[in-house]
Amino acid sequence: MAVREIRLFGDPVLKSVSDPVRAFDGKLKALVDDLVDTTKLPGRAGVAAPQIGVNLRVFSYNVNGEVGYIINPELVEKSGELQLLDEGCLSVPGLWHKTPRYVFARVRGQNLAGDQIELSGTGLMAQMLQHECDHLDGFVYIDRLEGEERRAAMKNLRATDWFMR
């Protein structure tokens, strides 16, 4: 379908809790197609619907060659060690910070037919699942930072040429 423009930190849609999908129709199929096309660009592990200005609980992913989507995802498990991992975000371009993420994550949601599906994994897949579910709950990764890491992130954010002041 189409590669959509990414909304940047400061856009109110990124701070809103996304609405559940209720209508499994052609409009939803077009949204999923756009999300997948937007995620397929190099260097993208996932894109949540709010990042393209749509306040619905949907995200697409592209991790280790596996491309897909999930509708109405619910993060049902986070386990293993909590690690500080380098993390960035398309909505916060050019900034990378150590972000606390669990080693394993499992998400339960639906496909376009409305059937229940699950995604789970470790490494980048676990990080992406947590990151994209955060977007659907109105968080960006810098909201997870604490102390000196958060202060550094905010300083770096203010120094960008794209940040809305």
DSSP per-residue codes, 63-118 = ETTEEEEEEEEEEEEEEEEEEEEEEEETTEEEEEEEEEEEEEEEEEEE-TTS-EEE
CB atoms within 10 A of CB 112: 14
How far is residue 103 CA from its own chain's centroid? 17
Domain made up of 12-158: CATH architecture: Alpha-Beta Complex (3.90)
- Stretch 126-142: mean pLDDT, rounded? 98
- Stretch 116-131: mean pLDDT, rounded? 98
pLDDT (0 to 100) of residue 25: 98
- Stretch 21-27: mean pLDDT, rounded? 98
pLDDT (0 to 100) of residue 165: 56
Q: How confident is the model at residue 88 (pLDDT cuts 50, 70, 90)?
A: very high
Distance, CA of 1 to CA of 137 (rounded, Å): 26
For the annotated catalytic residues, the residue numbers are 132
- Stretch 129-151: mean pLDDT, rounded? 96
Residue-wise pLDDT tens digits, 48-86: 999 999 999 999 999 999 999 999 999 999 999 999 999
Residues contacting 90, CB < 8 A, separation 6+: 6, 44, 47, 51
In the predicted model, is pLDDT for residue 2 greater than 70? yes
pLDDT (0 to 100) of residue 157: 93
Among 78, 77, 97, which Cα is nearest to 87's? 97
φ, ψ of residue 107 in degrees (nearest 5):
-125, 140
> Which residue has 């379908």 as its token pair?
1
Average pLDDT of the chain, as a whole number = 96
